[in-house]
Structure 1
Amino acid sequence: MTENDLLYTLALQHVPNIGDIIAKRLISHCGSAEAVLKEKKQNLLKINGIGTVVLSDLYESHHLKEAEKEIEFIKTNNIKVTYFKGNSYPEKLKHCIDAPILLFETGNVNLENQHIISIVGARKITTSGMAFCEDVVEKLAPYNPIIVSGFAYGTDITAHKAAIKNNLQTIGCLAHGLNTIYPKVHKKYMVDVEKNGGFLSDFWSTDTFDKNNFLKRNRIIAGLSEATIVIESAEKGGSLVTADIANSYNRDVFAVPGRTTDSQSVGCNNLIKHQKAHMLTTPLDVPYILNWKLEDDKKPAIQKKLFVELDTTEKAIYNYLKENEKQQLDVIAINCSLPIFKVSSTLLNMELKGIIRPLPGKLFEVV
């Protein structure tokens, strides 16, 4: 992206009433942000969904002047800018209709050929929630995932610190420009995060700090990721917004269940109850459901046994797969007269015993 392209794209981004969806529509129609700003108003009004209110402030000269100032900030602070049509733009975000037209980045982010997981949850995380979050990151470490979160109090910073501890890349998605950090107490973690990943934002250095920015930021957390994990949540909260956004993007969501009397478990329990999230009871549920595979040199050594004790359910599933070869989970459940949740957990146990293995397409077969 040339500096001239960046100038006009920033200027278009600066126009009130033009968000990312409308900006993409205008750029798609005209070919570039510069072409949009130089196009006649009557021609833009012919575009579906574009009205006079949207274009009311488009041609004001101060947008280019503000864009020039922001470019100076970008240059001075060595910030990387990624355009939504560029090759380096995050692949998963490209499929999100409301993804930002520009992403600002610091650090050493590398999103190529990686499993990417978002971990979100309560800011007032409990001791048990913190322990579970750390365990999830540690158990997923052999799969080398990128851990994404919002660099906020509680669950977010727990996830970032656990990623750094396990030598995993981690990305903090910020609800403000890259000229500041919130909360200030987390400034001490910035160097480690940038060494092991970095920070992303779509906010300018001049954007005012506003609580609504956090909700807007959540679309990036959800959009970057293959799946979102909610560790803890009260009945309402930003992590539930992130889960809803992830669902709208057709991404997997996991939620950690808790006691019905625990206020910080209400949100997760509701996600599970309303079938908006997979129930996450062990970290290995994540690679199992997402069908992740370990490289041969990272697989735990399992001594093959000539005879493995099977319970009644395992015997039924084993005999069925032995006779019918590769089968999907729901087909196994129907033919073995077992509930899907029972089959799912049993298959995981059998996989760990080295009896069966998962295949692409949620198929399973006897080893």
Structure 2
Amino acid sequence: MMETQNLYEVALTCLPGVGPLLTRQLVSYCGSAQAVFETPPGKLQKIPGVGPTLLKNIAAGSKTALLQAEEKLKMAAAHDVQLLFYTSSKFPNRLKTLPDAPTLLYYRGNADLNHHRIISMVGTRQITTYGQTVTERIVDELKPYNAMIVSGLAYGVDVVAHRAALQAGLPTIGVMATGPETVYPAVHRKYAERMLTQGGLLTENTFGTRPDAPRFPARNRIIAGMSDCTIVVEAALKSGTLITANIAHSYDKEVMAVPGNITSPVSEGTNYLIKSLKAAAYTSVQDLVELLNWDLQDEAKARKQHAAFDLSEYTADEIKVLQVLQQSREEQMDNLSWKAQVPVSLLASVLLGLEFKGMVKAMPGKRFAILS
């Protein structure tokens, strides 16, 4: 059953003219990827965004798409690759809420892509001694917080961050611009192989994809989207690293930058991000802890471990909200209002009060998560 479901999910991404947004639209209306192929044309054409051309593509391309999907599943089995459709529980939750997120990911590894704390680290390929020292220090400072380190497996800051994470015993994910079976640059294969048992390799690109230049900016949006914060260590003023930072900023994700020597070209980008208020300055792990409220999370967790849930500390509406979030961990505001039976007009103030008490955290897209 699961293999059949996966077959149709992969096939849906093979249909010509069906991009990520339309894929979500079709699945949302039809109920599943398989149902999209089985729904009569008369019903499909009533779905917003579905026109005569797409109907023709689905009718003419279904058989070919299923054959292509079957081949991809065989390749995945041969290379020990997991094909994660966006509805999978293993798909990164932080990523799936973003409008330009991929609908299918190719993943090799053993780490949880929904790890409790995920930090992306990016920077120049022309890393300086200062940049290497700072990158290693940041990773080392993250050890007590058991954070997952995400980067792009490239030369410079990327590979230093991955290597430091492996040495520190932290899980680390390399997001690639190639197919899942290709490590680029090949010289980093030894680190990539270690990451398969202490993290993993992730890509949206199918088997046989070459590392063409346009794929790297697309890769960067995954790095920015699947983490809680993107830390820029060193970057030139005009660079792919700043593109990643700007993408994270556009997603309402936290961005931090390491201040650098004002005479160094690879510090121009980080200093600019701080000066333009697109990034907070990273000078120690405490800056990150306070930015992401990790201290409040840990305090809340400690309270739960040492004391029972004291209802007297919360209002009736706060208790309703907490009970919902304890079950689902994270909810969109409208859903939370309906499930907790708290009017939206009142819910905002209730959530603010719970934030002050260190019990919930606001997430992008008007979502709220319980801290634990």
TM range, normalised to the smaller chain? 0.7 to 0.9
| One-letter amino acid of the counterpart of residue 245, structure 2 | A
Judged with a 3 Å threshold, the aligned counterparts in structure 2 of structure 1 residues 88 and 132 are, in CA distance, closer, same or farther, namely same
Q: Which residue of 2 aligns with 1:280?
A: 282
The answer for unaligned runs of 5 or more in structure 1 is: 297-357, 363-367
Q: Deviations over 1:210-229 (max 9, x none)?
A: 22111111222112101000
CA distance in 1, matches of 2:357, 2:113: 25
Within the alignment, does 1:5 sit opposite 2:5 as a pair? Answer: yes
CA distance in 1, matches of 2:68, 2:275: 48
Q: Which residue of 2 aligns with 1:240?
A: 242
Q: Which residue of 1 aligns with 2:20?
A: 20
CA distance in 2, matches of 1:217, 1:245: 11
Checking the alignment, whether the CA contact within 8 Å between 1:258 and 1:265 is kept in structure 2 is: yes
SS of the residue aligned with 1:92?
helix
Checking the alignment, whether the CA contact within 8 Å between 2:91 and 2:113 is kept in structure 1 is: no
Between Structure 1 and Structure 2, which shows a larger proportion of helix residues? 2
CA distance in 2, matches of 1:194, 1:208: 21
1:273-312 matched pairs, under 5 angstroms: 273-293=275-295
Checking the alignment, whether the CA contact within 8 Å between 1:139 and 1:284 is kept in structure 2 is: no
Task: Decide which of 358, 361, 368 is 1:360's aligned counterpart.
Answer: 358
The answer for unaligned runs of 5 or more in structure 2 is: 300-355, 361-372
Within the alignment, does 1:146 sit opposite 2:178 as a pair? Answer: no
1:1-367 matched pairs, under 5 angstroms: 2-41=2-41, 43-52=43-52, 57-58=57-58, 59-60=60-61, 61-112=63-114, 114-293=116-295, 360=358
Q: Deviations over 1:116-145 (max 9, x none)?
A: 100011111111111111111111211110
Judged with a 3 Å threshold, the aligned counterparts in structure 2 of structure 1 residues 123 and 6 are, in CA distance, closer, same or farther, namely same
Q: Deviations over 1:58-115 (max 9, x none)?
A: 3323222211111100112222222211222222123222222222211211245521
CA distance in 2, matches of 1:218, 1:54: 30
CA distance in 2, matches of 1:74, 1:170: 21
Checking the alignment, whether the CA contact within 8 Å between 1:118 and 1:225 is kept in structure 2 is: yes
Checking the alignment, whether the CA contact within 8 Å between 1:118 and 1:222 is kept in structure 2 is: yes
Checking the alignment, whether the CA contact within 8 Å between 1:82 and 1:104 is kept in structure 2 is: yes
Checking the alignment, whether the CA contact within 8 Å between 1:291 and 1:359 is kept in structure 2 is: no
* 99-108 or 158-167: bigger deviation: 99-108
RMSD: 2.5
| One-letter amino acid of the counterpart of residue 19, structure 2 | G
| One-letter amino acid of the counterpart of residue 83, structure 2 | V
Checking the alignment, whether the CA contact within 8 Å between 2:234 and 2:270 is kept in structure 1 is: yes
Checking the alignment, whether the CA contact within 8 Å between 1:222 and 1:245 is kept in structure 2 is: yes
Q: How far off its partner does 1:190 sit?
A: 1.9
Aligned residues: 302
CA distance in 2, matches of 1:361, 1:77: 42
CA distance in 2, matches of 1:360, 1:137: 26
Checking the alignment, whether the CA contact within 8 Å between 1:120 and 1:149 is kept in structure 2 is: yes
Checking the alignment, whether the CA contact within 8 Å between 2:107 and 2:202 is kept in structure 1 is: yes
TM-score by length of 1: 0.76
CA distance in 2, matches of 1:114, 1:88: 13
Checking the alignment, whether the CA contact within 8 Å between 1:45 and 1:52 is kept in structure 2 is: yes
CA distance in 1, matches of 2:155, 2:52: 42
SS of the residue aligned with 1:105?
strand
Checking the alignment, whether the CA contact within 8 Å between 1:117 and 1:145 is kept in structure 2 is: yes
Checking the alignment, whether the CA contact within 8 Å between 1:140 and 1:284 is kept in structure 2 is: no
Judged with a 3 Å threshold, the aligned counterparts in structure 2 of structure 1 residues 277 and 361 are, in CA distance, closer, same or farther, namely farther
CA distance in 2, matches of 1:146, 1:63: 35
TM-score by length of 2: 0.75
Identity %: 41
| One-letter amino acid of the counterpart of residue 48, structure 1 | P
